[in-house]
Amino acid sequence: MTFGFAPSSAGSLSTSTSAASASRLLEPAEWASAGIPLLRSPREVVSGLHTRHRPRPSTAVVAVLDPEERLLASASFVRRPAPADGWMFRNALLAQLRRVVPHDLRRRTPVRTAVLLYCRDGDARWTEEDGAWMWGLRDACTLHGLRCGAYITLTRDGWQVLGEGRGGRHPNADSSPEPFGASEVPPPLPRTGGAASELLRRAAAR
């Protein structure tokens, strides 16, 4: 922020741009007071998304959960190398949500919840990049008729639900995906068939 008397028009533009960018992030206190619903089983959610998407640093995974906290849909994408901007993050998240689930804007009260898992370098402490993702998630949920759910960071130290103080060492940014549990539905196997597939199967059996 610039202090002084009668700044030039260029200085005013720079200041207003900085202020606009700063407003597109949420501080931890703002996030904690926003009434974000708590996950009943955060480790189960994190492990499930980690197994499905195998995120690496700069990968964002947005997921939609039903009222029973079952996974309905999820999508992952890699963040572009650009300054953290909540508006850009909002647009990216909204594009993914529109691709995987229809909106709930006709409902008076949202029944589905979107959560965001972001894998990044560094430690688990809050950063301005996290604040921009929080702002983007909240705004994308509003525009898609969803409840705004947890924001989770995944680093080499482990995972953490920001604003709740809950976390764990596994999975982390370097760990291998855990096997699906008995209650999990494994990802579909690729379709096979025809003579070529039969030849490959026989060759592998030798």
The CATH number that applies at residue 69 is 3.40.140.10
Which spans in the chain are helix H? 9-23, 28-32, 42-53, 86-100, 128-144, 194-205
Domain containing 126 equals 21-168
* pLDDT of amino acid 34: 87
Looking at this protein, which amino acid is placed at residue 189?
Answer: L
- Decide if 172 contacts 54 (C-beta within 8 A): no
pLDDT averaged over consecutive 10-residue blocks of the chain (206 residues)?
34 39 81 90 96 96 96 96 94 97 91 97 93 97 97 96 90 81 42 40 42
15 within some domain: no
Backbone phi and psi for residue 40, each to the nearest 5 degrees, phi listed first:
-70, -40
State how many domains the chain has: 1
Count of Cβ atoms closer than 10 Å to residue 133 Cβ: 27
Peptide bond into 42 cis (omega under 30): no
